[in-house]
Chains A and B, each alone.
Chain A
Amino acid sequence: MDFLFAQLINGLVYGMLLFLMAAGLSLIFGLMNVVSLAHGSFFMLGAFLGLAAFQATHSFWAALVLAPLPTLVLGIIMELLFMRPLYRRGHLDQVLLTFGFTFVFFDAVKSIWGSDIRSLPTPEALQGVVHIAGGVFSDYRLFLIGLGVSLAILFWLFLERSRLGAMVRAGVDDSTMAAGLGANIPALFTGVFAVGVGLAGLGGVAAGPVLGLYPGMDADILIPSFIVIVIGGMGSLRGAFLGSLLIGEADTFGKAYVPSMALFLIYLVMAVVLLVRPQGLFGIKHTGAAAAPVSAPLRTGAPPAQIRVAGVVVLAAMLLYPFLVAGYPRTLIAEIYIFGIFAMSLDVLLGYTGLMSLGHGAFFGLGAYAVVILGSFFGLNAWLGVAAGVLVAAFGAVVVGFFCVRAIGVTFLMLTLAFSQLIYSVALKWRDVTGGSDGIGIPGKPSFFGWDLSDSLVMYYMTLIFFVLCYWSLRRLINSPLGHVFIGVRENEPRMQAIGYRTRAYKLLSFTIGGTVAGFAGGLYAIFNGFISPDAIYWSASGDILIMVMLGGAGTLIGPVFGAGIFLLMKNLVSSYSEHWMFIIGSIFIACVLFFPGGIWGTVRQFELRQLWLKRRPA
């Protein structure tokens, strides 16, 4: 009984910390239609700034009051300078922008404070304990509950009773209408964004003595917060509060009673709620169509001669390359081919169908784990393992896609994220089979039609052959009637419905094709790498692939391959002489979203279209 009660209190504490995150996330979404992926980063920044303030003042209370302020200022700067120029584009472009910032902030925190786990001491006044109903509770935990509840009440009073709060509520309801009635919407956006970020920073400091401080705490709090607002209903403060309590308790009780199943439990709660009420417990059903991220313009005719010539030259270079170098440079390019296939598979849904998935790594993981597990437990040939992995990935994509394509836009993104984390947690927790966080390897490299794959030359050509094969097949797909249906869905889903297409079925098909090809890439990677660990399917791995696609140019097939190449070259080359490769790639990505919305290949395509237009124009 005591244990139960203690868990109840602990769940409440965690729930309150989640609420400090979710309240801001939810209101920012309700008002601006943007899910800020950098919200966890502000939580982390707040915590570390709190540490700095504590070291300077030796007072926890000073840290609690001071640290949220610079966090808030950073939030305002980010909103004003970076997000505001993007308001006229799709909301998903802003989500991408916030994703770029997670890299920058992560790198900044890591280089300033290092990667060790730090802790904020509990304030002296709250080091005691209280006895309630036979249980012992630390004063600090009770203080956190009090803080959470009083902030929730304050926030509620502000929204319901103040004039400004009424404007925010009006803006959440219909921002165009609210602007027409005299609300200063841009200022409101900045204000709500700043308040949300400030709360996240405050949450970070308050969580310091309980959860500890480390780079990576940003994602650890962000993902449960997402689940909270998906369950509670986006844009609803009440939903954020109750959702936080629900997830806080579910997670705490799960960890206490069924430790191996704890991670599933919260995803299970989410899946059930979404099946019964897709808009969340208190959410309003958003009927507006989602705006797809910017895709490169389509080519209307045949590619110009220069591009064809360049293609032949590049293909020749790819064939000759392994004769010019040996060892690591060969392996690096082979890895780029595999990630090129992976990136193209995401582009089928992201660039061509307009579905922005942040969980595509899961299918890659299914393919890779199938090869390794079947190989090491049943001695199955790795190529048969690849075939099995493709089937498993296809099946996984059908199941996950079935739930996800019911949602649009940002909700779709969060659902794919949650499902991929579910698969990640299976890989992490099912130790007997997957080797847990240590990962698992295959007994030996298979041969490729009699050739030995431990030879880097054979490995290079094997990946090249499959890369060219995948590129060619996906190109056929994109140019086929089915591919054009996908493009139609991306461009105008309601009209596609009106002319007789079951768009949801086509979205599921696109999701499945993308997942299947990703599974194939994963299988190849398992053979290439000989080893797979859960890190390869963590949500940030899905994020990396998303960056590759956007950097290279969504909506073009070859662009994402360039994106994969640049990303992996940066990761492998820049990281060898600078520790700040994440900062660099994050900044490049932010610049790309801001100034080259079609990515590299999209910019080339724009230029091409312009030339065409100049040529056609009568002199």
Chain B
Amino acid sequence: MSVLRTERLCRSFGNLIVTSDVNLTVEDGERHVIIGPNGAGKTSLINQIGGQLAPSSGRIFVKEVDITSWPPDRVCRMGVARTFQRNNLFQKLSVIENLRLAVQARRGNPLNFFTPVKRLRDLIGRAEAVMRQVHLDGDGGRLVRNLSYGEQRQLEVGIALAGEPDLLLLDEPTSGMSPAETGRMIELIAGLPRSLSILMIEHDMKVVFSLADRITVLYYGEVLATGTAAEIQANDRVREVYLGVAH
């Protein structure tokens, strides 16, 4: 069964078409990477799946449920979590609180208005587990705005994981990172359990070829090709418009 399927998805802003007839499938447990030059409509596609942007036409199915144009919170409750290209965190809150809020949305009772959060050991325990998973152990009490950029990037992924999704949407998780930080991030993503399906945007070709089960190439909003790393590398049109430019 596919965890995500889009059907002839289209989106335009006036005359500018950012998503054009996109049919994309992510199978259960698959690591699917989207590549494409700047302005290919990668983030717009993620935004439509995540509910941040409504498509002009076409349909989106998560686990065969039609979620087209659902608001982000409802999409999230379907088991889809996402990260943002630019860090989108709770800057004035502590690391543990950032994660705890995400854990609470999934497991806690957000309408509880009486128990101090400090006493919710199970939620905090779960948040601490995620903190270790994204290599931020010991940083729980720090305010996010005092973290380094790379650490904030790790937390960005952590918040998404804390919601225990079935499908993880990663919008350029390594962007702006140093080579060492990128290495750690790749390790983190590669170490995620296979029960979790991942749809990821990435620029770094080394990362793409090391992680991806399948790759989709977007070009001016259209799907140019979909296939395994070998198929994509062998594809003439991709070589012409994309790899040819990059290498």
Contact between chains at B90 and A495 (CB < 8 Å): yes
Residue among A297, A301, A492 facing the most chain B CB atoms (10 A cut-off) = A492
Residues from chain A with a CB closer than 8 A to the CB of B159 are 495, 499
Stretch at the interface among A66-74, A403-411, A440-448, A477-485: A477-485
Residues from chain B with a CB closer than 8 A to the CB of A502 are 71, 73
Nearest-neighbour CB distance to chain A for B53, whole angstroms, equals 10
B142-156 at interface with A (beta carbon < 8 Å): 143
Nearest-neighbour CB distance to chain A for B73, whole angstroms, equals 5
Q: Say whether, besides A300-B141, A488-B101, A499 and B113 are in contact (CB < 8 Å).
A: no
Asked if B93 lies at the interface with its beta carbon under 8 angstroms from chain A, I say yes
The size bracket of the interface on A is 20 to 34
Residue among A484, A496, A498 facing the most chain B CB atoms (10 A cut-off) = A498
Contact of A491 among B84, B91, B117 (CB under 8 A): B91
User: Interface residues of B, CB < 8 Å — how many?
Assistant: 44
Asked if B110 lies at the interface with its beta carbon under 8 angstroms from chain A, I say yes
- A499–B51 CA distance with the chains assembled, in angstroms: 12
Contact between chains at B93 and A487 (CB < 8 Å): yes
Contact between chains at B92 and A499 (CB < 8 Å): no
Residues from chain B with a CB closer than 8 A to the CB of A481 are 104, 108-113, 115, 117, 120, 123
Q: Say whether, besides A498-B50, A499-B76, A480 and B92 are in contact (CB < 8 Å).
A: no
Contact between chains at A500 and B114 (CB < 8 Å): no
Residues from chain B with a CB closer than 8 A to the CB of A497 are 51, 71-73, 76
Closest residue to A301 on the B side, CB-wise?
B141
- A479–B117 CA distance with the chains assembled, in angstroms: 6
Q: Say whether, besides A482-B113, A491-B93, A499 and B101 are in contact (CB < 8 Å).
A: yes
Contact between chains at A480 and B113 (CB < 8 Å): yes
Residues from chain A with a CB closer than 8 A to the CB of B77 are 500
Nearest-neighbour CB distance to chain A for B10, whole angstroms, equals 20
Q: Residue-by-residue, is B109-139 near A (CB-CB < 8 Å gives 1, otherwise 0)?
A: 1111111111010010000000000000000
Asked if A494 lies at the interface with its beta carbon under 8 angstroms from chain B, I say yes
Asked if A84 lies at the interface with its beta carbon under 8 angstroms from chain B, I say no
Contact between chains at A500 and B91 (CB < 8 Å): no
Nearest-neighbour CB distance to chain B for A492, whole angstroms, equals 5
Asked if B24 lies at the interface with its beta carbon under 8 angstroms from chain A, I say no
Residue among A483, A487, A497 facing the most chain B CB atoms (10 A cut-off) = A497
Nearest-neighbour CB distance to chain A for B97, whole angstroms, equals 7
Contact between chains at A480 and B52 (CB < 8 Å): no
Contact between chains at A482 and B112 (CB < 8 Å): yes
Residues from chain A with a CB closer than 8 A to the CB of B104 are 481, 484-485
Asked if A253 lies at the interface with its beta carbon under 8 angstroms from chain B, I say no
Nearest-neighbour CB distance to chain B for A555, whole angstroms, equals 10
Asked if A395 lies at the interface with its beta carbon under 8 angstroms from chain B, I say no
Residues from chain B with a CB closer than 8 A to the CB of A471 are none
Asked if B45 lies at the interface with its beta carbon under 8 angstroms from chain A, I say no
Contact between chains at B105 and A476 (CB < 8 Å): no
Q: Residue-by-residue, is B149-189 near A (CB-CB < 8 Å gives 1, otherwise 0)?
A: 00000000001101100000000000000000000000000
9 A-B pairs with least C-beta separation = A500-B76, A500-B105, A497-B72, A482-B113, A479-B116, A491-B90, A499-B102, A481-B112, A480-B113
Which chain A residues have a beta carbon within 8 Å of chain B's beta carbons? 297-298, 300-301, 476-477, 479-485, 487-488, 491-492, 494-503, 506
